[in-house]
Structure 1
Amino acid sequence: MGDDHAKRAFIGSFTSAGGRGISVAAVDRDTGAPSVLASTDAVTDPSFLATGRAPGTGEPVLYAVSETSDGAAAAFAVDEDGAPRLIGDVRPVDGSSPTHLALAAGHLLTANYGSGSVTALPVQDDGSLGPATGVLRHEGSGPDAGRQSGPHAHQVLADPSGNWVLSVDLGTDSVRVCALDPATGSLRPHTEAALRPGTGPRHLAFHPSGGHAYVLNELEPTVTVCRWDAVAGRLEPLGETQVLPHDPAEDPGVRTYPSELVVSRDGRFLWTANRGHDSISVLTLDETAEKPVLAAAVGCGGRWPRDLTLDPTGQWLYAANEHSGNVSWFAVDAETGIPAHAGSLDVPAASCVVFA
């Protein structure tokens, strides 16, 4: 992808709620403003996307989950200005309702919320996907009978060393660490970090130093700070920090379900998207990276921010507001980390934004 393509973003949305599927957008480098060039609804409910390169050709490839009860994943070629184009077959993930995906060791991994599992699919030379080679099924439950009656894998990602795969499970209040065999695509459990019961962990982000990770909880509006040992493959919870400027117990009428967190590239700030409160929280990080401090919360520019993304320059922050059907973008203050609303783009049932 050339220099011009560095200004491309991809937006996922729920087709079952009136979304366009996957849209490709040009992004103005000076203003941060995205404008949709083309869309495709080739897969149902592509709620989360990831970008990569075809191993054999180096060409850019876009990957998407299909967040349906059957559960699938697909690969797309990215042309200059046209809609993403399917490569190969749409592959079943042998799990239900995949909500997240990531690339690791020559495979695409999906976190399957409905079935509480993680699936590995090999990436072929042209970027297309082969049939699933491994499925790791989580076990366990949590105290929230409505949301935690069984496992619900919500995110999967590789650690910064590339040696481990972590899966965040909302249903079991834990983060699992496993090893992915690059040759066979099998997933082997290694360790499991238990978080406070009932917090409902949703997504995790690493500090740029690689020694710490932050887990955003959905059922309680907190971030759990963890120490990460990449040699031992072990995640150690250290403590929690509130992401709202008030105690949720003081306002029981409006419940907040945090969705996504982003850490700045210099490791000074952490942002969270908060559904219900419909805000973006700013937390500052000190040299230890272990003591986030809530500094501010600003409106997300819509309703129900499902995703939060920092652009490659670190200057712009994007919120995919699912219920209001728009993507808002914000200029990030380099000194304070506080985002200032810069504009909004109509995207029905928006669910995520990723950059090439």
Structure 2
Amino acid sequence: MGSDNGTGRAFIGSFTSAGGRGITVAAVDRETGELTVLGATDAVPDPSYLALGHGPGPGGRTLYTVSETEYGAAAALDVTGDVPRLFGEIRPVEGSGPTHLALAGGHLLTANYGSGSVTALSVRADGSLGAVTAVLRHEGGGPDIERQRGPHAHQVLPDPSGNWVLAVDLGTDSVRICALDTATGALRPHGETALRPGTGPRHLAFHPAGSHAYVLNELEPTVTVCRWDAATGVLEPLGETSVLPEEPVGDGDAAIYPSEVVVSHDGRFLWTANRGDDSISVLALDAAGEKATPVTTVGCGGHWPRDLALDPTGRWLYAANERSGNVSWFAVEPSTGIPRPAGSLEVPAASCVIFA
């Protein structure tokens, strides 16, 4: 699954309940960005978000997925072939609607939107999933009576130092920081960073230097720039900026619900996917990473972009367009960061894209 011949692999999640194929494996042409389908499996219901392991699993690589259902679950898959195969049991996460997952400290973590919680599961030496080791339940709410009646954990990820776990909660307008005990799998709450009420934070991305984080808000089309101190585990908001320029593309009257935030490998640019006007925003970051300035928006190449991902080369940006059922890709202009349309692949109910 290397790229010695100029090719790599992509794994695309989709909603089987909306006609998706489940998990699709595609070859990636590093020179053109083109995706070519190799195989797919629907062995796991609604595998909406994926994570790739680099441990001692089959072939050295194991793919992990959530099952974004009311009875939430997670699974490991062997991806040494073109069609992923279940590896071990599909494991309940003791939380509903898991929307995101990440590997940290020998464990798999899931953010459970429906139940407003974060779950840790053990990862066995062979890469398969073990039992739940911790469930950390969030509390609180926000001013939006439809979306924030209670907590809604939307993303969980380790910080660049590997010492902390951050959970972004749309329902409570906050980011929670905790420590993972790698020996026991326990999650210990450490702190909580409050953001502006009603913004509905969804996902965050770190600057490559590890000193700043950018929290993308779903209920308002803004990014909150934060300073991150890995030594103390403190996330400090510095300011908030719109992800949209003065004249966005698409339907100017549409409500905008940003879904994903991505930072360029060199820390010069930030991109967001925006549902509602079906756009990708380009923001320029200053040298310190403390200021984000909107530059422009471009069309996402489909309808309802749920995910945005940069390939390992940093040359190609991919949008998973859920409602139009396709993954579109763009060539990133190195000097401006502006994505230029380059192609599209039909993937019904596409929800995320990750790369090997």
**Shared topology, TM-score over 0.5?**
yes
SS at match of 2:17: helix
User: Which segments of 5 or more consecutive residues in structure 2 lack a partner in the other structure?
Assistant: none
- Give the Cα separation in 2 of the matches to 1:56 and 1:14: 26
Instruction: Give the drift of 1:4.
Output: 5.4
Given the two structures, how large is their TM-score scaled by the length of structure 1?
0.97
Instruction: Give the drift of 1:343.
Output: 0.6
- Give the Cα separation in 2 of the matches to 1:55 and 1:33: 30
* TM-superposition CA deviations, 1:64-104 (whole Å, max 9, x none): 00000000000001123x21111100000000000000000
- Give the Cα separation in 2 of the matches to 1:127 and 1:29: 28
Instruction: Give the drift of 1:288.
Output: 1.8
Contact 2:138 2:151 in 1 (8 A): yes
- Give the Cα separation in 2 of the matches to 1:45 and 1:259: 18
Tell me the equivalent position of 1:281: 281
Contact 1:281 1:294 in 2 (8 A): yes
Q: 2:326 aligned with 1:326, yes or no?
A: yes
- Give the Cα separation in 2 of the matches to 1:238 and 1:54: 37
Instruction: Give the drift of 1:252.
Output: 8.0
- Give 1:26's aligned amino acid: A
Contact 2:2 2:8 in 1 (8 A): no
SS at match of 1:133: strand
SS at match of 1:7: strand
Tell me the equivalent position of 2:243: 243
Tell me the equivalent position of 1:187: 187
Contact 1:57 1:125 in 2 (8 A): no
Contact 2:19 2:349 in 1 (8 A): yes
User: Which segments of 5 or more consecutive residues in structure 1 lack a partner in the other structure?
Assistant: none
CA RMSD of aligned residues (A): 1.4
- Give 2:210's aligned amino acid: G
- Give the Cα separation in 2 of the matches to 1:355 and 1:252: 33
**Correspondence 1:52-201 to 2 at 5 A:** 52-55=53-56, 59-80=60-81, 82-201=82-201
- Give 2:105's aligned amino acid: A
Instruction: Give the drift of 1:57.
Output: 6.5
Tell me the equivalent position of 1:303: 303
SS at match of 1:334: coil
SS at match of 2:130: coil
Tell me the equivalent position of 1:13: 14
- Give the Cα separation in 2 of the matches to 1:3 and 1:276: 36
Instruction: Give the drift of 1:30.
Output: 1.4
- Give the Cα separation in 2 of the matches to 1:101 and 1:84: 18
SS at match of 1:301: coil
- Give 2:144's aligned amino acid: D
Instruction: Give the drift of 1:2.
Output: 3.7
- Give the Cα separation in 1 of the matches to 2:247 and 2:171: 24
SS at match of 1:182: coil
- Give 2:45's aligned amino acid: T
Instruction: Give the drift of 1:344.
Output: 0.6
Contact 1:52 1:61 in 2 (8 A): yes
- Overall identity of the aligned pairs, in %: 75
Q: 2:28 aligned with 1:27, yes or no?
A: yes
Moved segments of 4+, more than 3 Å: 1-6, 54-58
Contact 1:302 1:324 in 2 (8 A): yes
Instruction: Give the drift of 1:277.
Output: 1.2
* TM-superposition CA deviations, 1:108-145 (whole Å, max 9, x none): 00000000000000111111100100000000000000
Contact 2:252 2:277 in 1 (8 A): no
Instruction: Give the drift of 1:56.
Output: 6.3
